[in-house]
Chains A and B, each alone.
Chain A
């Protein structure tokens, strides 16, 4: 009596009680499909976030001012702090001098230093067409750090910066909305509002707008309009230094030691500053902490879903106990015909495992379907984890062994005389 005979026998007995078998499997199916669906969703989100973050440039190092009390928090958290805007005194800010020194010291490692500052939104009306832009003051390296692809014209250069010129670089969306085509926009002028004052800017370049998968009606898109940061500083009367900037390292540079050196370089300026210091972080570390966070959440939810597997397992145990009671005479007969306790035990364990295996497989299929639907509804590409599927199926089989063992052992230990007499 080998395993295969037992599997066939188990399938036969499941066929006799189809409805019962299905209901028994339901707990396992729900448990496994929930786990698979959640893992699939989590994976899809992680992949999607990783992809979109990598497009920002994994080699970029963000250098930003942080409060001294918060230096102990993780790098990911300090990076997130960039988005809020605390008020700094002039001496707290990173000065042009510091950046120039830094550029000299690390000249072999630095590819670009990008400085930018978000200004106000500005509404532009020209030839009866209206569009809204985010004004961003940038330096010439901003283009390299942010992978900005120019369609026509040029980006802001160092001389524009030095001379604080009234120039701007606009998006293809904006150019098409206002001027019809990108080529038409070059050399045209637009009125931009800076700090309440209207100024006339000349368009020198048009960059390719990347919607990054966002779906909006094209007329309502607000795109970035880049102007020299020195010009922006001049007309907004803002402070001379910067609270943050981005460094692009050369691709052959070891990112972790570069990160460390950058941090210690800037921190040396802030040893005497009571309130602020500088923290450097790169996308890699941010990505790591975000991926870690996401997978922890996924794992936690999956663990909760796994509780239904426990319930499913108890259901299997229950039905196996019913089954052996119903089949007491059969067990007695088998023993009289020469089945050993081991034969009987194996028969019922295999039956429980087969129930769980079928349930597990159905659960995996259902989970993949649910996960894929969920991901596509949320706008992410579905990424099913093969290892999660295999682990789930193996896990459900081990549930079968675990919860099938007790009933099977009870069947194996039945007294054949009592079992044969059972009505």
Chain B
């Protein structure tokens, strides 16, 4: 395991409605380190603070207290304008509901983060084709999202998430809207990316089954980490 973590959360506290009578503390001083190439599952029941934690890790939200360091960048000190660039280059988001842009074809969806990152059109097009081939969507590049099945949409979304070679792939219930066989193929794709591309993946799920096949399982309850243990891993799990 590498010495320097890509994600370092130090005593993270997140409160909502600060200073108001209905002030609500969701995360109570979380500490967490995730190292490059790790495949981590964050599990917990609804209301445990999973989503809040994901928003903080994904630099969509800032902690009320504590320090978050992403790939040597102290996110708490970064200006709002720069945070978009950090999201663009360091993090690949995968959502439960895919969130593909409806009017754009599969290939244009994959191209989008690269265009935001300033990659040339020609280069981004070339890379989009490679990525769609990698996720097994070579034949559907020109299709609009409404012409794709759920599993296909999620494959396009995964290709989009890894288009800028992010430091971290952040997947929020990626199989939540899929049937079991499609879920299996999506999980296989995550394992493929992890093993072949050495991608660091954080999988947020409420499913213990899916969590088991990762390398590390972090369990949240009431805004605190109650366990941080080794998972079974892909091969052991299947075997």
Contacts and interface: CB of A to CB of B under 8 A. Distances in A.
Q: Do A and B bind each other?
A: yes
Interface of A: 1, 5, 9, 12-13, 16, 329-330, 332-341, 343, 416-417, 420
B191 to A, nearest CB: 24
Nearest to B102: A330
A420 B95 contact: yes
Interface residues of B, number: 25
13 contacts: A1-B115, A9-B103, A329-B99, A330-B102, A334-B101, A334-B112, A335-B84, A338-B84, A338-B113, A339-B88, A340-B85, A341-B80, A417-B55
B116 A339 contact: yes
B102 A338 contact: no
A416 B60 contact: yes
Contacts of B88: 337-339
A127 B73 CA distance: 112
Closest 5 CB pairs of A and B: A338-B88, A340-B84, A333-B99, A338-B116, A337-B113
Given A1-B115, A343-B116, A417-B60, A338 B87 contact: yes
Contacts of B155: none
Nearest to B98: A333
A336 B81 contact: no
Contacts of A343: 84, 116
B116 A337 contact: yes
Looking at chain B's contact residues, the main secondary structure is helix
Contacts of A330: 99, 101-102
B84 A339 contact: yes
A16 B115 contact: no
A75 to B, nearest CB: 64
Nearest to B81: A340
Nearest to A423: B97
Contacts of A416: 60
Contacts of B89: 338
Highest count of chain A CB atoms <10 Å: which of B84, B93, B115, B164 = B84
A339 B95 CA distance: 17
Given A338-B88, A417-B55, A5 B115 contact: yes
Contacts of A336: 58, 60, 87, 93, 99
Given A338-B87, A339-B88, A417-B61, 19 more contacts: A1-B115, A5-B115, A332-B99, A334-B112, A335-B60, A336-B58, A336-B87, A336-B93, A336-B99, A337-B87, A337-B88, A337-B93, A337-B113, A338-B89, A338-B113, A338-B164, A340-B84, A341-B80, A343-B116
B160 A337 contact: yes
A1 B58 contact: no
A333 B60 contact: no
Nearest to B97: A329
A16 B103 contact: yes
Interface string B87-119: 111000101000101111000000011011100
A363 to B, nearest CB: 26
B116 to A, nearest CB: 4
A420 B115 contact: no
Nearest to B161: A337
